[in-house]
Amino acid sequence: MTARPPAEEISAAAAEKALEAEFGGLRRTLGGWEGRLIYWLGIAYVVFHLVVLNLHPIDPWVFRTFHVCIGSVIGFAIYGGRAADVQRIAWYDWAMMAASVAILAYIAVNLDDLLFRAGVLPTTWDLVVGAAGTFMVLELTRRAAGFALPILAGVFIAYAFVGPWMPGVLHHNGISADVFFSYIYSMQGIHGITTDVSATYIILFIAFACFLNSSKAGDFFNDLSIALVGWARGGPAKVAVVSGVLFGTISGSAVGNVVASGMITIPMMRRVGYDRSTAAAIEATSSTGGQITPPIMGAGAFIMAEILGIPYTDIAVAAIIPTLLFYIACYVHCDLHARKNDLRGIPRDELPTILSVLRRGHLLLPIVLLIAMLLTGYSVFRAGSVGIVAAIVASWLSGRVDRMGPRAVLDTLSVSAREAVQLMAICACAGIIVGVIALTGIGGRFSNMVLAVAGESRFLALVFAMLIALVLGMGMPTTAAYAVAASVVAPGLAQMGVTPLTAHLFIFYYAVISAITPPVALASFAAAGMANADPWKTSFIALKLGLATFIVPFMFFYGPELLFRGEWLDIAGVFVSASFGVFLLACSTEGWYAAGRIGWPERAVLFVSALCLIVPGLVTDLVGLGGALAVYAFRRLIARRAPA
């Protein structure tokens, strides 16, 4: 069984409050005929997507409009606009739900004409439908993900109309309302590439993750992590790291990971002596890494594949080494902190044995099958769909209690639809911003401005890209932050000679780790709320734990081997040296090396040595290794001279 301290249990209310940090709205619990209606509509919504993706493709615009409009019907039902309406669907929600269905019907009926006139010769009804559809996307995003993204989208909408009065690089000739709204509510804006990804990859893998959880694969991953390292020095913290790797790969949400695994790991860490802020920070950092963990990364990675026009497997493979470096750093930090504070693990007799956990190893079948199909050339859609079926079959090999019957399958389909609504709204709202960037040409002008400021320095350009991704990510979900930053910054980096995959992965990584970056760190704040810890202290500890991830993306450009590009021997050499580098980085920030505490001079030397080892190259590796050996020799010399 899983060890939990009875005095430190995390309540469901604390977990729900943590989720509110990301969802930003009030989820309704519907009963009666309203609940049954949304239940069956959610099932039909997911099944329709699976049928279109695997058996019967339809026109892309109609498909994406269905995704947004029917998703909006579900969204306005399950997300309340005000606290007073949390127990019922208000009349204005019904009005917006009806309008969503009407918009879908309008586009489906007038599709042929719209394909020719959208954004060029719009009619009055095109204006009405476009404006109404845009407003409802903004309102649903506000309810599901908070104010930040709708406000930013509103600024971009305003910019489209006030451009003639803007100075310098912001100036454009202006756009009429009918042209603007018919363009934005077309395949160039709301129903563009971000919604395309949401309607295909994202909903598919949300369903896959939900079926994995229903088959109890999530519990299996947590129990496996506990059995593997729960007994070790500082074991519960290491459990958080290992579960971040295992569980994180089936969830694209940092806050969702915090809630799912933090319910177990935070109380366990508190039991063995971790203070509240450190326990929360470890959980927040390891959970954030789940979004960069193959084979199923955050939703932004699927958008990246569509923008770059490359197979998703290429992105997943490129992310392997950076992900390993991230979790090596987290694990070493946990170990060093435990050494410094003499923290032990959970007694073995209170932990499940590895053999007992591995008896449920069949629950790995869906992920193994998914990876095998992706590597052998099957489409992502076919692999994900087969993975869903495999999750159901895997549950049949479990005990009778965990076996998924017809009702459990229907329940999971309905839950999948509910979980997909937030990302649908985020992607649709991000489409507004992407559409305005394309319509006004501000993206190209902003890229030119970045190039002018950075001059010939690609390093400065990367610093600007990092800051933009971090700032955007602090105020909105990772998916939207990446989509906006990639639209604005990536073209400029490409002009400076940065390869497209490197540029996009660079932006994506910083959008992800914005979840633990002060002053607005959603994952850190969520974990702090669950642990009753100081949010600011938690954020800064998480920043220290994730420091390697702030450095490694810069090395993508200097060493493509970090992205699995080059000869195998070169890749292996870069991985080994970079791993030692993140180890030294952890030693420097924790102040512990060669079995003892170290002072600031030694920490500074180790920090520089770590950077040298992370930067690919024989000379830098030798310098970094020399610095590490020098500090080690110095510490041994002091130990010999110390009185017995």
Backbone φ and ψ of 187, nearest 5°: -75, 0
Helix (H, G, I), strand (E, B) or coil at 26: strand
In a domain, 7, yes or no: no
Give the ranges where 273-379 is alpha helix by DSSP (H). 276-288, 299-308, 312-318, 320-341, 354-358, 365-375
Domain that holds residue 29: 21-198
Residue type, 44: A
The predicted pLDDT at position 278 comes to: 92
In a domain, 377, yes or no: no
In a domain, 637, yes or no: yes
Instruction: Give the DSSP per-residue string, 95-114.
Output: HHHHHHHHHHHHHHHTHHHH
The predicted pLDDT at position 475 comes to: 64
pTM of the entire predicted model: 0.86
Measure CA of the first residue to CA of the last residue in the chain; give whole Å: 45
Residues in the chain: 644
Give the ranges where 401-477 is alpha helix by DSSP (H). 406-440, 442-454, 458-475
In a domain, 123, yes or no: yes
* CA atoms of 528 and 520, how far apart (whole Å): 13
Total number of domains in the chain: 2
The predicted pLDDT at position 219 comes to: 84
Q: What long-range pairs does 599-602 form, CB within 8 A, spacing at least 24?
A: 602/631, 602/634, 602/635
The predicted pLDDT at position 1 comes to: 40
* CA atoms of 558 and 386, how far apart (whole Å): 39
Q: Which regions of the chain are under pLDDT 70? A: 1-25, 83-86, 247-253, 451, 475, 642-644
The predicted pLDDT at position 120 comes to: 81
* CA atoms of 388 and 324, how far apart (whole Å): 27
Structural domain ending residue among the three candidates 177, 198, 219: 198
In a domain, 472, yes or no: no
In a domain, 86, yes or no: yes
Helix (H, G, I), strand (E, B) or coil at 533: coil
Structural domain ending residue among the three candidates 198, 226, 257: 198
Burial of 46 by CB count in 10 Å (0-12 exposed, 13-18 middle, 19+ buried)? buried
In a domain, 410, yes or no: no
The predicted pLDDT at position 7 comes to: 41
Instruction: Give the DSSP per-residue string, 371-394.
Output: HHHHHTT--HHHHHHHHHHHHHHH
Helix (H, G, I), strand (E, B) or coil at 185: coil
What region does 3 belong to: left with phi over 0, alpha with psi -120 to 50, or beta?
A: beta
The predicted pLDDT at position 555 comes to: 86
In a domain, 118, yes or no: yes
Q: Checking DSSP bridges between strand 79-80 and strand 596-597, what pairing results, if any? A: unpaired
The predicted pLDDT at position 147 comes to: 86
Structural domain ending residue among the three candidates 198, 214, 238: 198
The predicted pLDDT at position 2 comes to: 43
Pick from 279, 212, 280: which is nearest to 247 by CA? 212
